[in-house]
Chain A
Amino acid sequence: MTPDFSKNHFALFDLVPSFELDLSALEAAYREVQREVHPDRFAGANDAERRVAAQWATQANEAYKTLRTPLARGRYLLRLAGIDTEEESNTAMPREFLMGQMAWREAVVDARESGDIDALDRLANEHRVAERALVAELAAQLADLSNEALLQGAKLTVRKLRFLEKLGEEIDLAQEAIEGS
């Protein structure tokens, strides 16, 4: 094992940087690294070797977690391309999109307050469809990682997916609240 901690998450698993990813190949590569750096294999090793193995395991965990989900993978590909998605600092979003989010969040609150589980199921469905559409859009935008205009579009899509993620959490919480009452 020759750890190179400067490798990017894809290279760590011998994968080509790409949004379309063979998840079973990712899984297999992750298991392989986990096996190689398992503490049991370093029982007789010295401190330095154990430290390197632990560091290697941490990086593999982080890489796996990042590449596994479309949102994190998309954000990471943009970062590799030098684009910051500014999710912490930039509050400007297309007005239409925000109005749509607001209407959805309002509907979730209303359904929660009136205990309308059917309405929540409908919202959960709409949410799934919208999220899937955004992931498909992101895949198209990240198909060519050298196209700056498409990458800027991908940045917006990643930002939108963050709102969808939050909406999904709110729907889950509302469903739990109603079912638990």
Chain B
Amino acid sequence: MAYSSKVIDHYENPRNVGSFGRDEEGVATGMVGAPACGDVMKLQIKVGANGIIEDAKFKTYGCGSAIASSSLVTEWVKGKSIDEASQIKNTQIAEELALPPVKIHCSILAEDAIKAAIADYKAKHGEALKDAAE
């Protein structure tokens, strides 16, 4: 199957690969997996005191589309608020990367990963988020 040039670009030069330090302030982690293809994805966000995502990192074991989807999402969430980031839809990812129908689940995995990271952040920092809103 031919990958789109954007998928190849992200696959060959993935952005933001890695992990944050265990004790870094404002870090939250989303871990998801797709049983159908055995892909595993970890996506981390680092949120500032103002509730804005300052940085994001990922680690994905999966096909090119899964790696490209997570790489793209880490780029997209930077500079966004938690609420803005939670609006990201898999269809936007699939469209941007021109994913074929059989690879749509890779974009779903990336959407679920950012949602899981946000849920983790809210569970850990629910109070801080409320303060920032006030």
Contacts and interface: CB of A to CB of B under 8 A. Distances in A.
A69 interface: no
B40 A88 contact: no
B19 to A, nearest CB: 10
A91 B38 contact: no
A165 B39 CA distance: 11
Interface in A43-101: 85-93, 95, 97-99, 101
A163 B105 contact: no
A90 B31 CA distance: 13
Contacts, number: 59
B57 interface: no
A159 B108 CA distance: 17
Max count, chain A CB within 10 A of own CB: residue among B33, B59, B61, B109: B33
B35 A87 contact: yes
- Range of interface residues on chain A? 20 to 34
Interface in A88-138: 88-93, 95, 97-99, 101-102, 105-106, 109
A93 B36 contact: no
B109 A102 contact: no
A54 B40 CA distance: 40
A164 B37 CA distance: 11
Contacts of A92: 32, 112, 116
B42 interface: yes
Contact of B31 (A86, A87, A95): A95
Given A102-B59, A102-B61, A105-B61, A88 B36 contact: yes
25 contacts: A86-B35, A87-B34, A88-B35, A88-B36, A88-B105, A90-B35, A91-B32, A91-B33, A91-B109, A91-B113, A92-B112, A93-B31, A93-B32, A93-B35, A95-B31, A98-B32, A101-B40, A102-B31, A102-B61, A106-B61, A109-B61, A159-B35, A162-B35, A166-B39, A169-B38
